[in-house]
């Protein structure tokens, strides 16, 4: 990326709305703006962080494009640490696109995805873990996830990584002083002390890895599959949980043929609900594809809501499905409990011992609150409480932490086997470099580019 280029993007979703923002960053931002922006009152000296009323005009054709509010931001006290301009126009597609076109015509280029945040990282305003927290804020599905993402944007996770790296630097300095200056009167490195220092850092890293699991759940949501045979009320349950008519519900078996995914928020935990086709033997080719997809999703599901029909006796299809999910994190939902019951709960308990059974009527929305409470309680019981130190880490960050732990384990093993200290230093240094990948201190340009490709244009 050429940092001397001025970039521009529409930073608000295109469409009809109250406001649209065209954003610029780079040395030519002010110069370009002055060519197309005519203030309502003469500006003698541009003040940073002030809004100026005026019009965007087409200098060649001489007509007004839109009435706007324009904000100027002087470097280095900006998001990118470069001069920036934000043109606040009306939220119509034509106005935003025309302003973008003019800015490009007079010297800017269209920004790449995430390029504003990428410049903030490259210019030293934020580290890489904070940059990745920006996308977590944008994609947060619950308030709790949003709070955690903001804590990472403030540098909380980065600080914990930096503390671990600092520990490793001290260990390396302690060991290498003996290697580099053997003739000096430096106390010989004490293996017991070194082991204790390495173990302390290992504990730090292990705690961060532990915090990742909760963070993953808050970041991505808990994948929850709604399964059962046809016509037991899976789609009705989805609609009841969402409190809207999202899925088509009929008495015709096999109505749901494709996968439907929606999110609900249960006490700050995003639950990714996946409604599937009823699992049964069928000759219908389209329905058969839906059944196969349901089985495929079942393998990766983190939680299962097994729906059964209270008005019918347990069928052979029910038993097959129970056998498929008995080793999964499963809650059994007995639907249609508002009509006379024929289902044998004792048989369910024998096939699936220890699983919670909740009776509901999805159609009448009875027992739904109890079910949602049970979902939350079961998550806490199976996965542990929501840790306030949860880390919304990406897969890349998780791997870097796990790789650093592997390196430290190798160092501890080498120490216990009384290997030369030079070998131990190699493993410690590699752990230090792995942790540096999280903050961006030791990361390659290819990885940086791959991270920012996932951002939206304009951020």
Give me the average pLDDT of each 10-residue run along the chain (459 residues). Answer: 81 88 96 96 90 95 94 96 96 93 96 93 92 85 82 88 93 73 57 89 91 75 86 87 63 50 87 75 54 72 91 90 88 92 91 92 91 90 70 83 96 90 89 93 84 79
The answer to whether 247 and 238 are in contact (CB under 8 A) is: yes
Please state whether beta strands 64-73 and 260-266 pair in parallel, antiparallel, or not at all (unpaired): unpaired
Place of tokens 């001290």: 170
Give CA–CA dist 338/310, Å, rounded: 9
**Domain coordinates in residue numbering, the chain:** 7-111, 133-200+400-452, 221-383
The pair phi, psi for residue 342, each rounded to 5°, is -120, -10
Positive or negative torsion for Cα 308, 313, 315, 319 = positive
Residue 157 contacts residue 391 (beta carbons within 8 Å): yes
Model-level pTM greater than 0.75? no
The pLDDT score that the predictor gives to residue 257 is 42
Give burial (CB, 10 Å; 0-12/13-18/19+) of 209: middle
Q: What is the CATH number of domain 7-111?
A: 3.30.1360.120
**Gap between the Cα atoms of 82 and 432, Å rounded:** 31
Residue 1: per-residue pLDDT: 45
Q: Which CATH number fits domain 133-200+400-452: 3.40.50.2300, 3.40.50.720, 1.20.120.430, 1.10.3210.10?
A: 1.20.120.430
pLDDT for the residue numbered 252:
41
Q: What pLDDT score was predicted for residue 187? A: 57
Start-to-end Cα distance in the chain: 16
* CATH entry, 221-383, from 3.40.50.970, 3.30.420.10, 3.50.50.60, 3.40.50.300: 3.40.50.300
Classified as helix, coil or strand, 225 is strand
**CA dist 237 → 68, 131, 241, 310 (Å):** 48, 39, 6, 14
Q: What is the pLDDT of residue 59?
A: 93
Q: Tell me if the bond preceding 76 is cis, omega within 30° of 0.
A: yes
Is 290 in contact with 276 (CB distance < 8 Å)? yes
| pLDDT value, residue 126 | 92
pLDDT attached to residue 305 = 93
Can you tell me which residue has the tokens 């160092």?
411
**CA 226/CA 398 separation, integer angstroms:** 29
């Amino acid at each position: 990326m050429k940092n001397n280029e001025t970039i521009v993007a529409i930073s608000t979703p295109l469409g009809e709305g109250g406001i649209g923002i065209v954003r610029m960053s780079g040395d030519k931002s002010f110069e370009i703006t002055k060519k197309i922006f005519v203030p309502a009152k003469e500006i003698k000296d541009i003040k940073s962080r002030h809004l100026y009323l005026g019009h965007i005009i087409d200098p060649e054709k001489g007509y007004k494009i839109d009435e706007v509010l324009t904000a100027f931001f002087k470097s280095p006290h900006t998001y990118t640490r470069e001069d920036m301009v934000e043109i606040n126009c009306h939220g119509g597609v034509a106005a935003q696109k025309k302003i973008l076109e003019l800015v490009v015509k007079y010297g800017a280029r269209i920004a790449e995805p995430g390029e504003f945040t990428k410049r903030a990282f490259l210019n030293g305003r934020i580290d890489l873990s904070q940059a990745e927290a920006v996308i977590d804020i944008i994609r947060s599905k619950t308030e709790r996830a949003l709070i955690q993402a903001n804590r990472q944007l403030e540098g909380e996770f980065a600080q914990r990584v930096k503390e671990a790296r600092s520990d490793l630097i001290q260990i390396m300095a302690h060991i290498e002083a003996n290697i580099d200056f053997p003739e000096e009167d430096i106390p010989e490195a004490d293996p017991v002390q070194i082991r204790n220092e390495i173990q302390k850092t290992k504990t730090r890293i292990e705690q961060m890895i532990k915090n990742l699991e909760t963070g993953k759940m808050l970041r991505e949501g808990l994948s929850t599959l709604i399964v059962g045979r046809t016509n037991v009320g899976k789609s009705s349950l989805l609609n009841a949980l969402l409190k809207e008519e999202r899925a088509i519900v009929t008495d015709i078996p096999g109505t749901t043929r494709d996968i439907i995914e929606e999110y609900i928020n249960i006490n700050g935990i995003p639950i990714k609900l996946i409604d599937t086709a009823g699992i049964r033997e069928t000759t219908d080719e389209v329905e058969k594809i839906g059944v196969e997809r349901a089985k495929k999703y079942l393998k990766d599901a983190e939680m299962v809501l097994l729906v059964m029909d209270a008005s019918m006796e347990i069928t052979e299809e029910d038993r097959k499905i129970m056998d498929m999910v008995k080793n999964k994190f499963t809650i059994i939902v007995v639907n249609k409990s508002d009509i006379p019951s024929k289902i044998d709960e004792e048989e369910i308990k024998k096939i699936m011992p220890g699983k919670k059974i909740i009776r509901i009527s999805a159609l009448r929305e009875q027992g739904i609150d109890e079910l949602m409470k049970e979902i939350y309680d079961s998550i806490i019981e199976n996965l542990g409480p929501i840790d306030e130190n949860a880390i919304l880490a990406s897969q890349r960050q998780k791997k870097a932490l796990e790789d650093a732990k592997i390196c430290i384990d190798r160092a501890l093993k080498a120490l216990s086997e009384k290997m030369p200290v030079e070998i131990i230093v190699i493993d410690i240094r590699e752990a230090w470099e792995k942790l540096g990948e999280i903050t961006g201190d030791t990361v390659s340009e290819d990885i940086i580019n791959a991270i920012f490709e996932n951002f939206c244009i304009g951020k």
